[in-house]
A and B are shown apart, each in its own frame.
Chain A
Amino acid sequence: MASVNRKWYDGMLTSEDWWAVWLGLIMFFAGMLTIWDIDLVGWMAKTKTWEWSRFWADPGWDKLLAASHGKAGKAYEGLGGFGALIVTYLVFAVLTAIGAAFQKLDVKKFVAGFACIFFITWAAWVVGHEAHFKALKTGQSITQSQIWGDDLYCLTKVHKCTALINKTAARLGVTDVLEAGAQEGAAPAAVAAAREAAAKVLADKKVKKKTIRMSWGLQLGGGFSYMLALAVGLIIGNFIKGFAGFLSEAAKPEWFIKTAIVYLGIKLGLMTMKATGFAVDLALSGAAATFVAYLMFWPIVYALGRKAFKLRRDASAVLASGISICGVSAAIATAGAIRARPLLPIAVSMLIVVFAMLELVALPTFYAAVAPHEPIVNGAAMGMTVKTDGADAAAGAILDEMMVAGHFRSTGELWESDWVLSAAILTKIWIDVFIGVWAFVLALIWVYKVERSPGEARVGASEIWFRFPKFVLGYFVAWFFYVGIAVWFPEAIKAASAGAKVVQSPMRKMMFMLTFVAIGVITDFSKLKGMGRLAILYAIALFGIIAPIAYLVAWIFHRGLVPPVVAGS
């Protein structure tokens, strides 16, 4: 059966892009039913932070995992951690298998591969949540280590844990003693009294459950799970190629990340309500960055390809789009616009996918190290530099975790998470949206000026729609729907949030984790062999021209912008 886009609705049931919308919106609307006290998503498994010695003393799945239900879904509590994991697998295995069937994938191979990727993902996720890798020190351990010690870590969200300690201190009536002992130049007796008070607080049952003393901790936050998932995927993709081949039918990082981005639309809706100006600013500056990307990057790289590397017009155009705009989508769209032989975008796409992986591995650490106080600049620069949606979102997620954890470690101040990620994604989304317009303009130039076909060829405006990234529709639906509820039905927001929280947090993070494993599985660095001139041009253009200019543009539009601080941190 052929796959030709003719009618506007073509591809709605058969393309991966649309299936990101369906998978995204199915869960989004399922989550919304909590407005009417119906919890259809509370079965979703989520990871817990655990510490190995406590686990081995009393092993159990419930130490590692739990169901995500809110008040409406109390019934799911009976599932336990393991039950929630199995239900999560079954739900997503069925939904993705249906999507795979419509996308004309080999369903048997897909189901088998998805099962492996799913459980590898969760294994990496659980290991990554071990406290020595993940846990952050409490605020008290950072700012008042002389009283609390500098080895006190949180087994839950750091701002909640820090707040719990403060609340417990107030309940025990020892806040003043603690503050007196924490003063600079406090008398030894005051410090000793404060330490005794701290010990009383830490002996409280609730505090004891949520904190732990450890001799060492990497304090990587949730980012370690992502890095571990990526490493496992890369090991499979590069060293266990037979297994990678087996998984390939189900290794669909673009599908997973686009679905995750639809779920992220909910988070952006929540964030927009809390910080409207900031969210609007991010959206607008993303648009400005797109303008720069198209107008500056493309001609520079095109000229480099033609003049310095003596490439043909069509090769230069396809490579320019792939490097300077949006990776594989742009390369295919451009090649299609100029009616190039398909072998050209296929070859360029292989290059893009491998280099996107190199960027994913290197850039988050590089940006976080070089500019630890410019989180939004770093996120936006990432959006303009990393060339596939999957790698960009993945890199944004790692960068977000690294920068939030790093800032907390050095200052004790906790930034709200996901703003850095949103900066990376919003910039990329604007670029994705305009690929269709760009390809349409190129097609007009090529057909009417360059080609001048004797058969009077014409370019239909429907080409813009066919190239439009459909997952963006799901993202905006989720975003505006949630904002709409907050604006027009504010009394329903609390109930809506219960279900939305499950979709935008553990469900979204799971799709990110699946993306990390899948992207590693499909990236084979040996594909760069034999790419010769193209690979060198790509490397020079990307790291020598695009990355620095992108950073400068991001800095111009976003310098000094930092995420809101979590209340109580």
Chain B
Amino acid sequence: MKADLELNLIHDGEQWVGRHADFTVAAPDLFLLEEKVRQALVGSGRYPGGSRVTVFMGYDFDSFPVWLRQYHSHYFNRFVSFTL
């Protein structure tokens, strides 16, 4: 699937944190995180109002403990589309 931008996702024990070169957002659940991403995209001015933007959120598996990585090497990826 194609995406307009990519976000690196982790969970710091309390919140989901999404990192991009231009912004970082954090929220206790993924719905709120998505809303914050949408607001960040609107605020960036990079995309005209009304445009449809697809964001790829890939979970950074390096945030898992080292001992666990030998069992599995992927958490989840997520494609979210917004109409700004």
Q: Which residues of A contact B (CB under 8 A)?
A: 1-6, 11, 15-17, 103-105, 248-249, 252-255, 327-329, 332-333, 335-337, 339, 341-343, 346, 349, 388, 443, 451, 453-460, 462-463, 466-467, 522
In whole angstroms, what is the CA distance A540 to B11 when docked?
31
Min Cβ gap A13→B in Å is 12
In the bound complex, do residue B81 and residue A339 qualify as a contact, i.e. CB atoms below 8 Å apart?
no
* Chain A, residue nearest B75 (CB): A336
In the bound complex, do residue A467 and residue B66 qualify as a contact, i.e. CB atoms below 8 Å apart?
no
In whole angstroms, what is the CA distance A335 to B61 when docked?
13
Residues of A within 8 A of B72 (CB): 328-329, 332-333, 467
* Chain B, residue nearest A343 (CB): B13
In whole angstroms, what is the CA distance A328 to B64 when docked?
13
In whole angstroms, what is the CA distance A68 to B82 when docked?
62
Residues of A within 8 A of B79 (CB): 457-460
- Which of A333, A342, A456, A522 sits near B63, CB closer than 8 Å? A342
- Which of B1, B34, B69, B73 sits near A458, CB closer than 8 Å? B1
Interface size class of B (residues with CB under 8 A): 35 or more
- Chain A CB within 8 A of B20 CB: no
In whole angstroms, what is the CA distance A455 to B60 when docked?
21
Residues of A within 8 A of B31 (CB): 453-455
Residues of A within 8 A of B37 (CB): 455
In the bound complex, do residue B62 and residue A3 qualify as a contact, i.e. CB atoms below 8 Å apart?
yes
A346-B64, A456-B81, A522-B67 given; A4·B76 CB < 8 A? no
Min Cβ gap A465→B in Å is 9
In the bound complex, do residue A248 and residue B67 qualify as a contact, i.e. CB atoms below 8 Å apart?
yes
- Which of B66, B70, B75 sits near A342, CB closer than 8 Å? B75
Residues of A within 8 A of B59 (CB): 4, 336
What are 10 A-B contacts defined by CB distance under 8 Å? A3-B60, A105-B66, A332-B64, A453-B30, A453-B31, A453-B34, A453-B80, A454-B34, A456-B82, A458-B81
Min Cβ gap A521→B in Å is 11
* Chain A, residue nearest B58 (CB): A4
In whole angstroms, what is the CA distance A234 to B64 when docked?
24
Min Cβ gap B19→A in Å is 9
Residues of B within 8 A of A5 (CB): 58, 61, 73-74, 77
Residues of B within 8 A of A11 (CB): 73-74
Residues of A within 8 A of B60 (CB): 2-4
Residues of B within 8 A of A17 (CB): 73
Tell me the residues in window 22-81 of chain B with beta carbons closer than 8 Å to chain A beta carbons.
Answer: 30-31, 34-35, 37-38, 56, 58-81
In the bound complex, do residue A6 and residue B6 qualify as a contact, i.e. CB atoms below 8 Å apart?
yes
Min Cβ gap B78→A in Å is 6
Chain B interface secondary structure, helix, strand, loop or mixed? mixed
A342-B11, A342-B63, A460-B1 given; A455·B81 CB < 8 A? yes
Min Cβ gap B68→A in Å is 6
Min Cβ gap A177→B in Å is 60
In the bound complex, do residue A4 and residue B61 qualify as a contact, i.e. CB atoms below 8 Å apart?
yes
In whole angstroms, what is the CA distance A457 to B1 when docked?
12
Residues of B within 8 A of A328 (CB): 68, 71-72
* Chain A, residue nearest B79 (CB): A458
In the bound complex, do residue A349 and residue B68 qualify as a contact, i.e. CB atoms below 8 Å apart?
yes
Min Cβ gap A234→B in Å is 16
- Which of B62, B69, B78 sits near A457, CB closer than 8 Å? B78
A2-B8, A455-B38 given; A336·B64 CB < 8 A? no
Min Cβ gap B84→A in Å is 12
* Chain B, residue nearest A328 (CB): B71
A16-B73, A255-B70 given; A4·B81 CB < 8 A? no
- Which of B62, B73, B77, B81 sits near A463, CB closer than 8 Å? B77
Min Cβ gap B33→A in Å is 9
A455-B80, A466-B77 given; A332·B71 CB < 8 A? yes
In the bound complex, do residue A339 and residue B70 qualify as a contact, i.e. CB atoms below 8 Å apart?
no
* Chain A, residue nearest B81 (CB): A456
In the bound complex, do residue B71 and residue A6 qualify as a contact, i.e. CB atoms below 8 Å apart?
no
Residues of A within 8 A of B66 (CB): 105, 249
In the bound complex, do residue A346 and residue B65 qualify as a contact, i.e. CB atoms below 8 Å apart?
yes
20 further contact pairs, Cβ within 8 A, besides A336-B59, A466-B77: A3-B60, A3-B62, A3-B73, A4-B8, A4-B60, A5-B58, A5-B61, A332-B75, A336-B76, A342-B11, A343-B13, A349-B71, A443-B76, A455-B34, A455-B38, A456-B81, A462-B1, A463-B74, A466-B73, A466-B74
- Which of A2, A254, A337, A462 sits near B62, CB closer than 8 Å? A2
Residues of B within 8 A of A341 (CB): 11
Residues of B within 8 A of A460 (CB): 1, 77, 79
Q: Which of A2, A249, A454, A458 has the most CB of B within 10 A?
A: A2
- Which of B34, B35, B68, B81 sits near A346, CB closer than 8 Å? B68
In whole angstroms, what is the CA distance A253 to B62 when docked?
19
Residues of A within 8 A of B78 (CB): 339, 457-459
In whole angstroms, what is the CA distance A2 to B81 when docked?
23
* Chain A, residue nearest B67 (CB): A522
Residues of A within 8 A of B73 (CB): 3, 5, 11, 15-17, 466
In the bound complex, do residue B70 and residue A254 qualify as a contact, i.e. CB atoms below 8 Å apart?
yes
Min Cβ gap A348→B in Å is 11
In whole angstroms, what is the CA distance A456 to B37 when docked?
13
Residues of B within 8 A of A522 (CB): 67
In whole angstroms, what is the CA distance A104 to B64 when docked?
13
In whole angstroms, what is the CA distance A255 to B73 when docked?
12
In whole angstroms, what is the CA distance A346 to B13 when docked?
11
In the bound complex, do residue A254 and residue B63 qualify as a contact, i.e. CB atoms below 8 Å apart?
no
